[in-house]
A and B are shown apart, each in its own frame.
Chain A
Amino acid sequence: MDKSIEKLILESFIKSMCSVYKNLTNKELIIKGVEKMMNPAFKYSEAVTIVGFSGMIVGRMIVAMPKELCAIVYEALGAEQPSDDDLLLAVGEFGNMVAGNAITRINNHLKDANVRLSPPSSFLGRT
């Protein structure tokens, strides 16, 4: 893949994450660093959302976050005291917003990219 497109994709997702997080919580998200994963497998014990995308670029976005953060997102969406099922919905919705925002940036930059999202899937507990 062209390095400039790779850079665009990475920046789009990072900017979208920061933007959606700030819109929901009114707080800044601090990016500690960006690391390339050599091993595609990873373990996480809290909340995870996966959003696939296809078009000129094909891939998936995975967001892994603590349950407490899911609860903040859930409450920012207008409700209180989420159950586990509510947290599942919240993390999925968060992923959908971030991925949607990122893909819009990419499609705006690259005409004819026509990147589309599949629905978000969410997971809670030890994965």
Chain B
Amino acid sequence: MSRAVEESNRRLLRARDAMDRRYAEPLDVPTLARIAHVSEAHFIRTFRATFGETPNRYLQRRRVERAMFLLRTGDRSVTDICMDVGFSSLGTFSRVFRDIVGEPPSAYRQRGPLPAVPSCFAMAWLRPSSLRPSSFGEAAAD
């Protein structure tokens, strides 16, 4: 029983890693379910049971984390950044960003540059949480 769960976890982790690596691509559930070797419905259900959120939300948070990074480290436009991180519509990007971060991309940009840390840790720790407001040595906006 537990061995089967571990193997399922490992395959789902592989799909989660693919989202972290290929966030800029138009990833969809069929692609991810294939990586995890499960059906689409089963993938969404077991991903949520394993990692506590839907694959779509996980991918959104990865994309928003990358957008947060780009907003604070360069001078590309919000529209360019939206496309760079895998969103295809500025409207969706703005809505999801605000929903997750608590403020619009342009306001977030005003917070200034970020220090350099290994990108795996930036990915894991700067990723905005749905449960806890994002913070990086600063008070969360509300």
- Judge: A and B partners, yes or no: no
B residues contacting A by CB (< 8 A) are none
